[in-house]
């Protein structure tokens, strides 16, 4: 008889979700589904709002990555105004995006995933927590907290506050970085770099112990999608879209992000509020692709910074052409943190961002224009993956329609497949074991999903698992959180 | 004497912001050695400044159907904390401070009864009045600390 295991809610991720694992008559895993059960409706209630409000409105989709929405929204506004923003404004936006990348990845690695990775997924859940981690690795935790704080303080220096800064606007940004702000950021670069390098070293030392886990941890070939720079460099703000396959072959390149509808379709399923983006030429669901740190490192030609570039070469040894196991999202995230720190330091040396004497003019930060196009698309790389904001407005700049494609949503098919793979390996009976629960959670957590964004919903996530037979009878049920 | 006042809550949700209003008001007193923090939520990143304080006063809204307008309670270390998320409570944050830095200051929670969490609303009249009482309690705590010469644990 068939059975279904349901995990609802899932812990230590952002948002609400549950998982159902369906067993066939022989007790083998037939399918697994990641149900996102929250709905907020930003795409609908933003209709009728002025374009100028959109960065502020959409940044409130999320409290973890508001900057990502702020920047993508501002870029959509740039397109509607039909302006090229001043160079200093772009560099400041890039600076904030790197800070966002750093603080979000630090949260994911040090706060959410480190207990699993460093204490072991078989350890007692009651002890697999931050306090056990502090006892085992006190300096790692302390430095990880400071690292996230560093990223947030850069955002605050630029935008006036750490969460939902009202700073990037259509046409540019509102304010520059002060000299004192620049100096305080520069002073902390060495510590930030040392923290990431230590975490990388710590992670690489456990790689040999987790090879077996990594093999069944969302280890399948898929497409990978993201932004790259003009010369194929790792990119987080501009550039073009590149798509590679699971062997590392580039199958599409130099795609205009604003024309995303030509190559990205969105499917819906009745059992989840999270849409299912797919690569159109291959159809649904064969057009599954992944975004985010793993994808960005698989598609880029090089990182563009020395230390991260060296780490990328070592990272690629985990795969053949492409690194496919979702477990290595954690590894990729660490390398992106390093690239972010290097990128921040490089930007602070840029003449457009340096302090100016009283006699020097401040650089232009904003291009001013009215509504010159009735639609615009803004695309940037959020910590979790590529983010698309598309707006259609009337001649007065009032929003008529909105389409958002969120990073986590683009990983939806892959997350479902990851859960199915983990479940197939660990479900052996009609009972839900701690080990299976731990790993299914950890499998989702590898993607660092922000379900607050992707639905575009809010709330803390906890885990509820239900095991059902083919007749729908509950065989076992577990809750966490 | 090094005192830290942390008021937290959502500034967009009416009485939920009372902790932040109170922290801002204390900040305006301009007392030497008193540092005020107004935040949307308690964050793990606060452990550093908590560890360097000799007294911490948390101020928050309390949504309960009844009870005193202002409650003053000592904050004890939490007996269990599951995960290090981006939100926290005073006890968990104090425990995290202890775990990371090896010590923690004495801490109090002043909770102000809230009545209206409407979007964009100002403080309700009842909560505004309670905020005045809370300020008096904070003044007393700071004054008591100064007189008793309490030092950090």
Total beta-carbon pairs less than 8 A apart between chain A and chain B: 56
Give how far A467 is from chain B: nearest CA, Å: 25
Of the candidates B48, B84, B86, which has its C-beta nearest A130's C-beta?
B84
- Chain-chain contact of B100 with A63 (C-beta, under 8 angstroms): no
Neighbouring residues of A183: CB distance < 8 A, sequence distance ≥ 6? none
Q: Which residue has the higher pLDDT, A221 or B44?
A: A221
Q: How many CB atoms lie within 10 A of CB A400?
A: 12
Share of chain A above pLDDT 90, in %: 57
- Residue A475's pLDDT is 75
Structural domain boundaries in chain B: 3-141
pLDDT at position A449 is 83
Give the one of A64, A130, A142 whose C-beta lies nearest to B83's C-beta: A130
Residues of chain A contacting B79 with CB distance shorter than 8 Å: none
Q: Give the phi and the psi of residue A173 in degrees, each rounded to 5.
A: -135, 165
* Residue pair A270/A287 in contact by the 8 Å Cβ criterion: no
Task: Indicate the helix (H) or strand (E) that contains A202.
Answer: helix A179-206
A421 Cα to chain B: minimum distance (Å):
26
Q: Is B138 in contact with B105 (CB distance < 8 Å)?
A: no
Following DSSP, what letter does each residue of A369-433 receive, concatenated? -----SEEEEEEEETTEEEEEEEEE-TT-BEEEEEEE-HHHHTHHHHHHHHHHHHHHH--SSS--
Mean pLDDT of A202-229: 91
A261 pLDDT more than 80:
yes
Tell me the pLDDT tens digit for each residue of A96-118.
Answer: 999 999 999 998 898 888 888 88
Over residues A37-41, mean pLDDT: 69
How high is the pLDDT of residue B36?
A: 96
Chain-chain contact of B45 with A145 (C-beta, under 8 angstroms):
yes
pLDDT confidence band for A460 (50 / 70 / 90): very low
Show residues of chain B in contact with A115, CB under 8 Å: 83
Close Cβ partners of B28 (under 8 Å, ≥ 6 residues apart): none
d(CA B131, CA B137): 10
The more confidently predicted of residues A13 and A474 is A474
Q: What is the mean pLDDT of residues A415-431?
A: 83
Reported ipTM: 0.73
Q: How far is B83 from chain A (nearest CA, A)?
A: 6
Closest CB from B45, B81, B83 relative to A148: B45
Is A23:A260 a contact under the CB 8 Å cutoff?
no
3-state secondary structure of A226: strand
B40 has a chain A CB within 8 A of its CB: yes
**What's the confidence (pLDDT) of residue B153?**
24
CATH topology of domain B3-141: Rossmann fold (3.40.50)
**Lookup: tokens for B119:** 């979007």
Confidence at residue A50, expressed as pLDDT on a 0 to 100 scale:
95
Residues 6+ apart with CB under 8 A from B67: B113
- B99 CB neighbours in chain A (<8 A) are 130-131, 134-135, 138
Closest C-alpha to A68, from A58, A57, A78, A77: A58
Length of chain A: 481
For chain A, how far is it from start to end, CA to CA, in angstroms? 30
Is the pLDDT score of A439 beyond 50? Answer: yes
Pinpoint the alpha helices (H) of A16-174: 42-45, 54-59, 66-81, 87-106, 114-119, 130-136, 138-159
User: For residue A38, is pLDDT > 70?
Assistant: no
Residue among A104, A97, A109, A102 nearest A68 (CA): A97
| Percent of all residues in chain B with a pLDDT value above 90, rounded to a whole number | 63
pLDDT tens track for A442-458: 888 888 887 544 443 22
Phi-psi region of A370 (alpha: psi -120 to 50; beta: other; left: phi over 0): beta
Residue reference for tokens 């009249």: B125
A138 and B100 within 8 Å at the Cβ level: the answer is yes
Task: Note the pLDDT of residue B18.
Answer: 96
Residue with tokens 């095991």: A467
Query: Which among A12, A63, A152 has the least Cβ separation from residue B83?
Result: A12
CB within 8 Å: B99 and A135: yes
Chain B residue with Cα closest to A139: B100
Which chain B residues are Cβ-neighbours of A138 within 8 angstroms? 99-100
Q: Is B86 close to A142, i.e. CB distance below 8 A?
A: no
B83, B86, B100 ranked by CB distance to A64: nearest? B86
Q: How far is A130 from chain B (nearest CA, A)?
A: 6
Cis peptide before A191 (omega within 30 of 0): no
Asked whether the beta carbons of A166 and A159 are under 8 A apart, the reply is yes
Provide Rg for chain B, Cα atoms: 15
The more confident residue out of A246 and A64 is A246
Residue A208 binned pLDDT confidence (cut-offs 50, 70, 90) = confident
Return residues 103-132 of B near A (CB < 8 Å).
Answer: none
Q: Which of A45, A114, A126, A131 would you mutate first to test chain B, the one with the most B CBs within 10 A?
A: A131
Record the pTM: 0.87
d(CA B16, CA A1): 51
CA distance B59 to B135: 10
Please state which of the ranges A237-241, A296-300, A424-428, B84-88 shows the lowest mean pLDDT: B84-88
pLDDT at A313 over 80: yes
Specify the pLDDT at position A109.
92
User: Region A55-63: what's the mean pLDDT?
Assistant: 85
Nearest to A341 by CA among A196, A179, A140, A180: A196
Cβ contact B115:B127 at 8 Å: yes
Task: Write out residues 57-86 of B within 8 Å (CB-CB) of A.
Answer: 80-86
More confident residue, A478 or A383: A383
Of A363, A365, A367, which is closest to residue A351 (Cα–Cα)? A363
Q: Do A163 and B40 touch (CB under 8 A)?
A: yes
pLDDT at residue A450, rounded to an integer: 74
- Higher pLDDT: B79 or A417? It is A417
What mean pLDDT do residues A337-356 have?
90
Structure tokens given for A300: 């880029």
Please answer yes or no on whether A12 and B45 come within 8 Å at the CB atom. Answer: no
Q: Which of A15, A130, A142, A459 to substitute to test the interface with B, most B CBs within 10 Å?
A: A130
Q: Do B100 and A163 touch (CB under 8 A)?
A: no
Buried b (16+ CB within 10 A) or exposed e, B106-128: bbbbbbbbbebbeeeeebbeebe
What share of chain A has pLDDT > 70, as a percent? 89
Q: Taking residues A16-38, report their average pLDDT.
A: 78
Main-chain phi, psi angles of A157, to 5 degrees: -60, -40
Q: Tell me what pLDDT residue A451 has.
A: 59
R_g of chain A, CA atoms, integer Å = 22
Query: Are B48 and A146 inside 8 Å of each other by CB?
Result: yes
Average the pLDDT over A17-30 and give the result: 80
B78, closest residue in chain A (CA to CA): A131
Q: For position B150, what pLDDT does the model report?
A: 40
Q: Which residues of B touch A149 (CB under 8 A)?
A: 45, 48
Look at residue A95 and give its three-state secondary structure: helix
- List CB contacts (< 8 A) between B87 and chain A: 460
The model's confidence at residue A162, banded by pLDDT at 50, 70 and 90, is confident
Contact B86 A63 (CB under 8 A): yes
Burial B66-105 (b: 16+ CB within 10 A, else e): eeebbbbeebeebeebbebbbebbbbbbbbbbbbbeeebb
């Amino acid at each position: 008889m068939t059975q279904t295991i349901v995990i609802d809610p899932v812990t230590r991720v952002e948002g609400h979700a549950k998982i159902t694992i369906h067993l066939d008559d022989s007790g083998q895993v037939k399918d697994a589904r990641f149900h996102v059960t929250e709905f907020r409706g930003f795409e609908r209630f933003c209709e009728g709002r002025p374009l100028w409000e959109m960065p502020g409105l959409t940044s409130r989709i999320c409290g973890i990555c508001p900057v990502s929405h702020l920047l993508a929204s501002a870029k959509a506004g740039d397109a509607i105004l039909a302006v090229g923003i001043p160079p200093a404004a772009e560099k400041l936006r890039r600076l904030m995006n790197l800070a966002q990348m750093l603080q979000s990845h630090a949260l994911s690695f040090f706060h959410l995933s480190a207990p699993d990775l460093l204490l072991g997924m078989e350890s007692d859940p009651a002890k697999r927590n931050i306090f056990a981690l502090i006892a085992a690795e006190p300096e790692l935790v302390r430095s990880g907290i400071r690292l996230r704080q560093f990223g947030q303080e850069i955002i605050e220096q630029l935008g006036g506050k750490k969460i939902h800064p009202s700073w990037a606007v259509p046409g540019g940004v509102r304010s520059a970085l002060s000299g004192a702000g620049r100096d305080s950021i520069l002073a902390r670069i060495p510590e930030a770099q040392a923290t990431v390098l230590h975490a990388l070293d710590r992670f690489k030392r456990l790689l040999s112990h987790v090879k077996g886990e990594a093999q069944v941890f969302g280890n399948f070939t898929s497409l990978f999608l993201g932004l790259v720079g003009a010369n194929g460099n790792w990119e987080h703000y501009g550039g073009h879209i590149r798509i590679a396959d699971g062997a590392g072959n580039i199958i599409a390149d130099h795609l205009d992000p604003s024309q995303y509808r030509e190559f990205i379709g969105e499917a819906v399923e009745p059992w989840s509020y999270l849409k299912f983006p797919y690569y159109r030429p291959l159809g649904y669901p064969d057009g599954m692709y992944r975004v985010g740190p793993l994808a960005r490192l698989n598609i880029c030609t090089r990182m563009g910074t020395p230390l991260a570039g060296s780490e990328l070469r070592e990272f690629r040894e985990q795969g053949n052409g492409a690194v496919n196991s979702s477990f290595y999202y954690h590894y990729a995230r660490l390398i992106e943190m390093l690239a972010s720190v290097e990128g921040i330091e490089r930007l602070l040396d840029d003449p457009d961002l340096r302090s100016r004497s009283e006699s020097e003019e401040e650089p232009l930060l904003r291009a001013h224009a009215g509504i010159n196009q009735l639609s615009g698309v803004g695309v940037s790389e959020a910590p979790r993956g590529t983010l698309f904001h598309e707006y259609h407005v009337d001649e007065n700049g009032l929003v008529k329609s909105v389409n958002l494609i969120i990073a986590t949503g683009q990983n939806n098919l892959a997350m479902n497949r990851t859960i199915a793979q983990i479940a197939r390996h660990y479900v052996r009976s009609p009972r839900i074991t701690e080990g299976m629960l731990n790993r299914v959670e950890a499998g989702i957590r590898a993607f660092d999903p922000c379900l607050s964004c992707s639905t575009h919903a809010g709330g803390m996530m906890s885990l509820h698992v239900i095991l059902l037979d083919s007749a729908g009878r509950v065989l076992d049920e577990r809750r966490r959180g | 004497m090094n005192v830290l006042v942390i008021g937290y809550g959502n500034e967009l949700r009416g009485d939920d912001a009372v902790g932040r209003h109170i922290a801002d008001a204390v900040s305006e007193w301009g007392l030497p050695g008193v540092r005020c923090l107004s935040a949307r939520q308690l964050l793990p990143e606060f452990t550093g400044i908590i560890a360097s304080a000799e007294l911490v006063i948390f101020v928050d809204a309390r949504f309960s159907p009844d009870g005193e307008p202002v409650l003053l309670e000592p904050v004890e270390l939490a007996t269990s904390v599951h995960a290090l998320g981006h939100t926290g409570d005073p006890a968990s944050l104090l425990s995290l401070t202890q775990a990371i830095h090896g010590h923690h200051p004495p801490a109090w929670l002043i909770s102000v009864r809230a009545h209206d969490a409407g979007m964009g609303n100002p403080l309700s009249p009842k909560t505004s009045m309670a905020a005045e009482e809370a300020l008096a309690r904070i003044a007393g705590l700071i004054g008591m600390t100064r007189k008793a010469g309490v030092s950090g644990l």
